[in-house]
């Protein structure tokens, strides 16, 4: 089968291999069959390996939904009665956790920092000292809205020092930046299949400490469909998801994990890094400015300033590139007009070089000066 290859420079879903695409074409199966439960068992244990999570302390729980379902579940399920969650907030994805708190009326602290910088550890410590009722600290690993990589190991250590658990949204870093859930002081992390694992959208998962999930049985229940303990318990009892799983996405994810382990964590990280460097090089050559100091960039997302030319139109340039097989993505910074170029997916530096030829043509075509 010949499938058109698109180079996705958006922050997920990512460009996938044809073998992952084709893995979805399987005989129809009822997901309540033992055969399917067996597939999910293997998948759950492979996900632990991606996070280097020891099986005797951590478990993975699967959900049907986009990545945001994980934020919803972790936030609504893991805050005990009478306790608070501290959200270390330096961008749009951390703000999403704050919005979940607001929606469920969960006591929370929205500790805000500049979106252009890493959060300040001293300020986090001050907030923890001032609020001994904080039971959960929350922070994104990679803030996808800007490209800033957050110092989660240090934030996790602070959380633990003050008796709180640490949840990190690793949706846009897991499987791309080497991550070790124990060394990184993370109690719960999360991701969805279509980003770092380069599978399809529809499957999300949380990896976390089994004893904390068990303890959360007695925490306030704030959702029926999105409760971490209920889904965990159902998996433990039956090996199945409580409700219908995204069957074909699960087949694709199993294939994607096979390819992930074949390539290896370090080689995959090096490839994403090389793509990221090619993005910066191409931007420099054309005269684009970026907004985040590369020293704190994840190497997965680059936020690019709009050129200061009235001829610039993100939509027109996007469409020009899109028609030629390259997808670029709008920014997520409210104070500065930006677009994003990302190094997720099964792409290589040559794809980025090809993209910059097209981008240069687009600039010429619309007489955009830099
Ligand atoms: C992509 C992403 C999510 C999930 O977004 P969905 O649109 O729900 O898939 C959550 N957190 C981060 C950091 C992300 O990059």
Q: What is the pLDDT of residues 105-143, one digit of tens each?
A: 999 999 999 999 999 999 999 999 999 999 999 999 999
What is the distance in A from the centroid of ligand 1 to the CA of 67?
5
Distance, in Å, from the CA atom of 38 to the CA atom of 224, rounded to the nearest integer, reads 26
Q: Find out whether the beta carbon of 297 lies less than 6 Å from any atom of ligand 1.
A: no
Q: What is the dihedral of CA 342, 97, 127, 161, to 10 degrees?
A: -80
**Bridge partner list, 282:** none
pLDDT recorded at residue 334? 85
Give me the DSSP letters along 145-196. Answer: TTTEEP-HHHHHHHHHHTT-EEEEE-TTTTTTS---TTTTT-SEEEEETTTT
* Fold assignment, 264-365: 3.90.1150
Pick the CATH number of 28-261 from 3.40.50.1260, 3.30.420.240, 3.90.1150.10, 3.40.640.10: 3.40.640.10
Residues of the chain with CATH 3.90.1150.10: 264-365
Residues of the chain with CATH 3.40.640.10: 28-261
pLDDT recorded at residue 333? 87
Q: Find out whether the beta carbon of 99 lies less than 6 Å from any atom of ligand 1.
A: no
Closest ligand 1 atom to residue 142 Cα is: 13
Q: Find out whether the beta carbon of 93 lies less than 6 Å from any atom of ligand 1.
A: yes
pLDDT recorded at residue 16? 98
pTM equals 0.97
- Helices vs. strands in the chain: H and E counts, helices first: 12, 14
Q: Find out whether the beta carbon of 12 lies less than 6 Å from any atom of ligand 1.
A: yes
Asked if 300 and 344 count as a contact pair (C-beta separation under 8 A), the reply is: yes
What is the distance in A from the centroid of ligand 1 to the CA of 12?
8
Distance, in Å, from the CA atom of 301 to the CA atom of 308, rounded to the nearest integer, reads 22
Q: Whose CA is nearest to atom 5 of ligand 1?
A: 67
pLDDT recorded at residue 151? 98
Q: Provide the token pair at 224.
A: 């029926």
Mean per-residue pLDDT pooled into runs of 10, the chain (370 residues): 92 97 97 96 98 98 98 98 98 98 98 98 98 98 97 98 98 97 98 98 98 98 97 97 97 98 98 98 98 98 97 97 97 92 98 98 97
Q: What is the pLDDT of residues 234-259, one digit of tens each?
A: 999 999 999 999 999 999 999 999 99
pLDDT recorded at residue 361? 98
Q: Find out whether the beta carbon of 169 lies less than 6 Å from any atom of ligand 1.
A: yes
Q: Find out whether the beta carbon of 66 lies less than 6 Å from any atom of ligand 1.
A: yes
Distance, in Å, from the CA atom of 79 to the CA atom of 188, rounded to the nearest integer, reads 13
Out of 73, 144, 301, mutate this one to test ligand 1's pocket (max ligand atoms within 8 Å of CB): namely 144
């Amino acid at each position: 089968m010949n499938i058109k290859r698109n180079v996705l420079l958006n922050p997920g879903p990512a460009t996938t291999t044809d073998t992952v695409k084709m893995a979805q074409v399987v005989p129809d199966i009822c997901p309540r069959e033992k055969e399917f439960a067996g597939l999910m068992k293997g998948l759950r244990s492979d996900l632990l390996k991606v996070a280097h999570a020891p099986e005797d302390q951590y478990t993975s729980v699967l959900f049907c939904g986009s990545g945001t379902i994980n934020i919803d579940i972790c936030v609504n399920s893991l805050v005990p009665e009478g306790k608070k969650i501290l959200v270390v907030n330096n961008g749009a994805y951390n703000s999403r956790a704050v919005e979940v708190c607001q929606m469920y009326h969960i006591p929370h602290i929205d500790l805000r920092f500049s979106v252009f910088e890493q959060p300040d550890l001293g300020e986090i410590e001050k907030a923890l000292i001032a609020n001994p009722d904080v039971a959960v600290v929350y922070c994104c690993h990679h803030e996808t809205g800007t490209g800033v990589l957050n110092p989660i190991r240090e934030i996790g250590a602070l959380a633990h020092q003050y008796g709180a658990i640490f949840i990190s949204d690793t949706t846009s870093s897991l499987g791309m930046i080497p991550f070790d859930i124990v060394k990184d002081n993370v109690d719960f992390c999360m991701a969805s299949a279509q980003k770092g694992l380069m599978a399809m959208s529809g499957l999300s998962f949380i990896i976390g400490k089994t004893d904390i999930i068990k303890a959360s049985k007695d925490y306030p229940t704030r959702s029926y469909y999105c409760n971490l303990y209920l889904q965990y318990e159902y998996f433990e009892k039956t090996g199945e998801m409580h409700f219908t799983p995204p069957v074909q996405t699960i087949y694709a994810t199993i294939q994607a994990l096979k390819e992930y382990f074949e390539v290896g964590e370090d080689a995959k990280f090096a490839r994403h890094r090389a793509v990221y460097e090619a993005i910066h090089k191409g931007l420099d050559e054309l005269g684009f400015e970026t907004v985040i100091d590369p020293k704190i960039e994840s190497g997965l997302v680059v936020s690019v300033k709009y050129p200061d030319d009235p001829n610039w139109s993100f939509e027109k340039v996007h469409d020009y590139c899109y028609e030629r097989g390259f997808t670029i993505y709008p920014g997520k910074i409210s104070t500065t007009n930006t677009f994003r170029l990302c190094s997720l997916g099964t792409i290589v530096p040559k794809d980025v070089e090809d993209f910059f030829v097209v981008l240069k043509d687009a600039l010429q075509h619309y007489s955009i000066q830099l």
